[in-house]
Amino acid sequence: MNQNPSLPSQLGVRPSTELATRFLSQAFGWMFAGLLLTAGIAAVVQTQPELIRTVSRAWIVFVFAQLGLGLAIQGLMPRMTATLGLGLFFVFAATMGITVGVIVSLYTIPSVITSFLAASAMFGAAAIYGATTKRSLTSLGGFLFMGMIGLFVASIVNLFLASSPLGWIISLIGVIIFTVFTAYDVQRISYGDYAASLGSVEKASVLGAIHLYINFVNIFLFLLRLMGSRR
């Protein structure tokens, strides 16, 4: 536990409504731009069966490379410019479009739409809670991080076990973790934690967008696995 809190949320210091709105609007703006790019590429992928087969054959390599890119962007954000960070975020969102496109191709269109609407509702409710609650969510950070690591390890194990019951449990826990993560991240963004740690509002908006983007995409994909009907 941090004995010397220095971030606004740890100190219990909340910025003015105008400043908090600025933090959130910029982060959500870039997040939605990334989602539009992902959706556009995913739609194109649906028309490219050969691309789907190629990516499917190298699925594990592709997913791990994508994971590495996402982690690298977040880790290097303090040392890169906001423009470079934003550019890499869009590269990440574009590659995610391929991943989402391949996964979505396995499910019926009605179930994809239903999962998307459910994900939007859950994400929106969590975001509103995170932006409006007066309760500090800072203490959830450690538990959420450990939960995410456990989720990742369980997912890797299930790649080899291919257990449907375990996959269902992983998806359910995944929805819960990333929904809570959404409220947690939104509160940190609104308090100005990202801006304080990076020393730049522009960098903070990009990092916040990445976190929100990852949360939404994971909620959607986990819900799709839970609710989706296979073709």
**Structural contact between residues 31 and 209, judged by C-beta atoms closer than 8 angstroms:** yes
Q: What is the pLDDT of residues 142-161, one digit of tens each?
A: 899 999 999 989 988 887 88
The count of residues in the chain is 231
> pTM of the entire structure?
0.91
CA distance 190 to 22: 8
What residue type is 85 in one-letter code?
G
With a cut of 90, say whether residue 72 has pLDDT above it: yes
CA distance 101 to 104: 5
Beta bridge partners of residue 107, listed in sequence order = 230
Residue 102: pLDDT band by 50, 70, 90 thresholds?
very high
Residue 12 pLDDT: 65
With a cut of 60, say whether residue 91 has pLDDT above it: yes
